[in-house]
Amino acid sequence: MKIAIIGGGIGGLTLALALRKEGHEAVVHERTAQFGRVGADINLTPNAVRALDPLGVGEHLRTEAARPRFRISRDGYTGEETSRLPMSDAAEEAYGAPQLTIHRADLLDALEAAVGSDAVHLGHGLESCEVTDDGVSLRFADGSTDDADVVVGADGIHSAVRRSLLGEEHPEFTGTVAYRAVLPTERVAHLPGIDCFTKFWGKDRYTQIVTFPLTRGEETFVFATEHRESWSQESWTTPGRIEDLRAAYADFHEDARALLDACDDVLISALYVRDPLTTWGRGGATLIGDAAHPMMPFMAQGAGQAIEDAVVLARCLSVHGAPEGLRRYEALRQERTAQIQVGSRGNEWLKAGGNADWVYGYDAWEVTL
Ligand SMILES: Cc1cc2nc3c(=O)[nH]c(=O)nc-3n(C[C@H](O)[C@H](O)[C@H](O)COP(=O)(O)OP(=O)(O)OC[C@H]3O[C@@H](n4cnc5c(N)ncnc54)[C@H](O)[C@@H]3O)c2cc1C
């Protein structure tokens, strides 16, 4: 089976590893010419770590990541704690893996090292693809062409594979922009719970500050959102104005304000979503991750769901072949990812406690195919 993966992000590289474990080699076509240190945090909840562990990257992740002790919700204005969920060892006991919080670049490093450079074709962006009777034909931006029995669109929210399969439609701006910053933990080490995942909830779904440790606890990540009527720039590298952010949160509790005071630089990016889809593919083509189901970050499942998709897809292809395995994969993954897409938009996840088992307890290696 000749398999082409479009997109060497978190989902695409995980898929290459999961396919290898199942006895298949795939080529990853990645648009960017070289992997850079782009992005900030990735929150790997226990379901994501358990899916990654059998792929040989667990040790690498554990040496780079942090392990938050608790997942805490606090009222943004009074600072009062409204829920506390034990993570770390307790999560490992309950779900078979801990939560790991990691810089996106460190996660990609671990995946790239395991996949190996021979399997990744950098600077090779897909322009379009077409499902044929024999498989899928591919056309790249540099004018080259290829074909494959199976093509997987792991090419993110603006997926070219999705556009080719389903036609042009644009993701929807959610009225929310997100600020992200990474700072040395020593600046905020005096704050309570700095080794935990903490969310300060504001008056509406546009208002919140989230913080958690990265990089073995040596760095701290800060995320905050703001309402905007419109937004035209789409980028993961646009600098934001820290003064605007501090002003927007001037009425927040002092612990939350201290986090913003400690930030030098922030990046700003807009949050976009799409509604759940009922069709992810056709013939030898399918989608995984953000290409299939982009979601708001409020349940921290963007990476986790891409990773789960990759494992289930690799297993389905092994057991059922193509194209049957692709349709089986889609049927198995659509309900769960749609539920998380809708839940993330609602932005109430674990605000006042609740049971996280249905998300964290999912085992992509054990789901009945
Ligand atoms: C540069 C960048 C920075 C990010 N930073 C953060 C962050 O700080 N925090 C966070 O929570 N989430 C971040 N995300 C989003 C997060 O990584 C994803 O939501 C999630 O991991 C889902 O993974 P994915 O593999 O589906 O998509 P992505 O991780 O978005 O990967 C898609 C990959 O496909 C490539 N690609 C796109 N179009 C083409 C094409 N036509 N041909 C070939 N390759 C293509 C992209 O370059 C990218 O490498 C970032 C995404 C990107 C691309």
List the residue whose alpha carbon is closest to atom 13 of ligand 1.
39
- Residue 190: CB atoms within 10 Å: 9
Q: Which helix (H) or strand (E) segment is 327 a member of? A: helix 324-346
Cβ-based neighbours of 189, under 8 Å, separated by 6 or more: none
Q: Are strands 197-201 and 70-75 parallel, antiparallel or unpaired?
A: parallel
Residue 68 in contact with ligand 1 by CB distance below 6 A = no
d(CA 164, CA 4): 15
The distance in angstroms from the start CA to the end CA of the chain is 20
- Centroid of ligand 1 to alpha carbon of 90 (angstroms): 30
- Closest by CA to 9, choosing from 292, 228, 273, is 292
Write down the pLDDT at residue 353: 77
Q: Which of 38, 100, 104, 277 has most ligand 1 atoms within 8 Å of CB, for mutation?
A: 104
d(CA 313, CA 365): 10
List the residue whose alpha carbon is closest to atom 11 of ligand 1.
42
- Residue 149: CB atoms within 10 Å: 17
- Centroid of ligand 1 to alpha carbon of 317 (angstroms): 24
Write down the pLDDT at residue 316: 98
Partners of 85 in beta bridges: 71
- Centroid of ligand 1 to alpha carbon of 77 (angstroms): 34
Partners of 3 in beta bridges: 26, 150
Q: Tokens at residue 320, please?
A: 């059922």
Q: What is the largest CA-CA distance in the chain?
A: 63
Residue 125 in contact with ligand 1 by CB distance below 6 A = yes
- Centroid of ligand 1 to alpha carbon of 156 (angstroms): 5
pLDDT in tens, the chain (369 residues): 999 999 999 999 999 999 999 999 999 999 999 887 787 899 999 999 999 999 999 999 999 999 999 999 999 999 999 999 999 899 999 999 999 999 999 999 999 999 999 999 999 999 999 999 999 999 999 999 999 999 999 999 999 999 999 999 888 899 999 999 999 999 999 999 999 999 999 999 899 999 999 999 999 999 999 999 988 777 888 999 999 999 999 999 999 999 999 999 999 999 998 889 999 999 999 999 999 999 999 999 999 999 999 999 999 999 999 999 999 999 999 999 999 999 998 888 888 777 889 999 999 999 999
Write down the pLDDT at residue 345: 87
- Centroid of ligand 1 to alpha carbon of 257 (angstroms): 30
Q: Which of 31, 44, 136, 225 has most ligand 1 atoms within 8 Å of CB, for mutation?
A: 31
d(CA 128, CA 171): 18
Write down the pLDDT at residue 295: 93
